[in-house]
Structure 1
Amino acid sequence: MNLNFDTVQSSPVRPQPASNRLLASLPEDELQQIEALCEPIEAEVGDLLFEPGEPIHYIYFPIDALVSLLAVAEGRMTLEVGSVGREGMIGASVALGHGQAQVRAVVQRAGRMLRMGAEEFCSEFSRNEALQRLLHRYTDTLLAQAIQIAVCSRFHVLEARLARSLLITRDRLQSEKFHLTHEFLAHALGVRRVGVTKAASALQQQKLITYSRGNIEILDSAGLEAVSCRCYELVKDDGSLGISTVFV
């Protein structure tokens, strides 16, 4: 995976506050207060937001970027345990007493995000009851997703896991077309690239997707959902909280 350790660049254009669905779910006055403390940035594919064990200096609210959360073992083996798009946030665990990152957060799709200092976020969390309620409601969601992905990775065949991953990416991006390299998918699924190639070929032969040089298009969503394990139904937006998110 080509990880870019350069700092993401600030953007001169401030996005609309409602562009991040999680922020938009806050009361208007609280939304304005938090947005005033944020700066807009442009993130590129491969930008590394943080590594396991590193202090969390910023909180990120994606707008049209997508960030992959990877568990890391022995410094090199990885497994995707979540992805965050405009429905969520990254780094919120600092408000819950976890000042160090537990996963690798790497930009999967370039785009805009709002960035907020961790100290400012903690101060807002301590006084903002709406924000407290929002984050506490997602604690159980995060735990349930992490458990389900662990079960999926242990017991389900790679073809079904790949289908699940593609469907979740589609949901986060709200698009049937996106770019994911074999290398990235291998890191995300914790397998060798040859395994990804075989699984993607099987899905393509069933006319569920097209896959060429990392460019993926889902041709048959219903068919892909049928191939996917039931884990997709359990980790996608469940509607019970209005929006779905993962935070670390």
Structure 2
Amino acid sequence: MTKLTILKNNDPPADGAKEEMANRLLLGAGQALSLVRPELVRLRKGEPLYHADDPIRHVYFVNRGLVSLVKSMRDGRTVEVAAVGAEGVVGVSALFDVETSTFETMMQVPGSAYRASVENVRKAMQANSRFHHLLQGYVHVILEQIAQTAACNRLHSLDQRCCRWMLMCHDAARLDTFPLTHEFLAMMLGARRVSVSIVAAGLQKLGYIKYRHGVLTIQNRTGMEGLACECYDTLRRKTETLFHPN
């Protein structure tokens, strides 16, 4: 079991700013939030939440940062199949009676999450039909993301996929600068590290990013959006449809 840092009495995050609730699913819980009884936990980069086939007793509503859902092969190779930010929850399948993890889950961009027991969230879903609808809809969003990622990995260039992934990290971090190594990026994309380094060097030459000692800075987001594949915009629109259906 991973030992997490519990933030008590509204402790500030590492950057010193007061942490407000930002998870969009919890913000939609209304009065049922009191039944969820979430506790804020700090999550470090690379920290695992579940391993594949682990029982899911708690779910994590991401507040800051990004969690990767990763599929591992027998030979040790891995690839990210989906990612969860402040729009979602990690372990959502357990709320609908699939109580073991299908994926390895790890913190990709460090941040925080609201942890809650599966039992408490189910009670809140029963008490609030909108909250139930949001969580049910989020399952569909994750399935869409897995399907889109599979197509993206097969059909789009590494340059396009790198830009998509960096933009997702930028959205999740809510900061222009965040930790990211070429090795970790290669693992998430199922690519060779040397290939990722070549792409990153090209983006830096264009002035779109700055990379130094495992820290990435987004310098020209508009330029990166122009290079990213359609998947970034497609997935963003799918997510917005959940929260703004009309």
TM range (shorter): 0.7 to 0.9
**Would the alpha carbon gap of residues 13 and 84 (structure 1) be closer, same or farther in structure 2, given more than 3 Å must change?**
farther
Q: Which residue of 1 aligns with 2:108?
A: 108
Q: Secondary structure at the match of 2:64?
A: coil
Matched, 1:11 2:11: no
Residue in 2 aligned with 1:25?
Answer: 28
Contact 1:70–1:78 under 8 Å retained in 2 = yes
Secondary structure, aligned partner of 2:243: coil
| Partner SS state of residue 68, structure 1 | strand
Which deviates more from structure 2 when the two are superposed, residues 128-137 or residues 215-224?
A: 128-137
- Taking every aligned residue pair, what percent have the same amino acid on both sides? 31
User: What secondary structure is seen at the aligned counterpart in 2 of 1:236?
Assistant: helix
Partner residue, 1:41? 41
Once the two structures are superposed, what CA deviation does each residue of 1:193-228 show, in whole Å capped at 9, x if it has no partner? Answer: 111111111111222111112211122112111111
Secondary structure in 1 matching 2:59:
strand
Displacement of 1:127 in angstroms is 4.4
Corresponding position of 1:175: 175
Measure how far apart 1:167 and its partner are. Answer: 0.8
Structure 2 unaligned residues grouped into runs of 5+: 12-18
Separation of aligned partners in 1, 2:216 and 2:141:
28
Describe the SS at the equivalent of 2:21.
helix
Shift of 1:73: 2.0
In structure 2, how many angstroms separate the alpha carbons of the residues matched to 1:130 and 1:75? 43
Tell me, in whole angstroms, the C-alpha distance in 1 between the residues paired with 2:86 and 2:140. Answer: 20
Change (3 A) 1:63 1:139: closer
- Cα displacement (A) at 1:92: 1.5
Could you say which residue in structure 2 is the equivalent of 1:132?
132
Aligned with 1:71: secondary structure? Answer: strand
Match of 1:240 in 2: 241
Mapped contact 1:95–1:125 kept (Cα < 8 A): no
Given that 1:13 and 1:40 are in contact with CA atoms closer than 8 Å, whether structure 2 keeps it comes out as no
The whole-number CA distance in structure 1 between the counterparts of 2:123 and 2:25 is 18
TM-score (norm 1): 0.87
Describe how 1:173-212 pairs up with structure 2 within 5 A: 173-212=173-212
Counterparts of residues 70-109 of structure 1 (less than 5 Å): 70-74=70-74, 76-109=76-109
The 1:139/1:41 distance shift into structure 2, 3 A limit, reads closer
**Corresponding residue pairs, total:** 236
- Structure 1 gap segments, 5+ residues each: 244-248
SS of the equivalent of 1:110 reads strand
CA–CA distance in 2 between the matches of 1:19 and 1:227? 29
Distance 1:164 1:148 in 2: 12
TM-score (ref. length: structure 2): 0.87
What is the deviation of 1:20?
2.0
Q: CA deviation at 1:133?
A: 0.8
Question: 1:181: how far off?
Answer: 0.9
**Equivalent pair of 1:64/1:173 in contact (CA under 8 Å):** yes
Whichever residue aligns with residue 21 of structure 1, its letter is: R
Q: 1:110 to 1:25 in 2, by over 3 A?
A: same
Q: Structure 1's 75 and 49: CA in aligned 2 closer, same or farther, altered over 3 A?
A: farther
- Identify the range of structure 1 (121-130 vs 207-216) with the bigger mean alpha-carbon deviation: 121-130
Letter of the structure 2 residue corresponding to residue 11 of structure 1: L
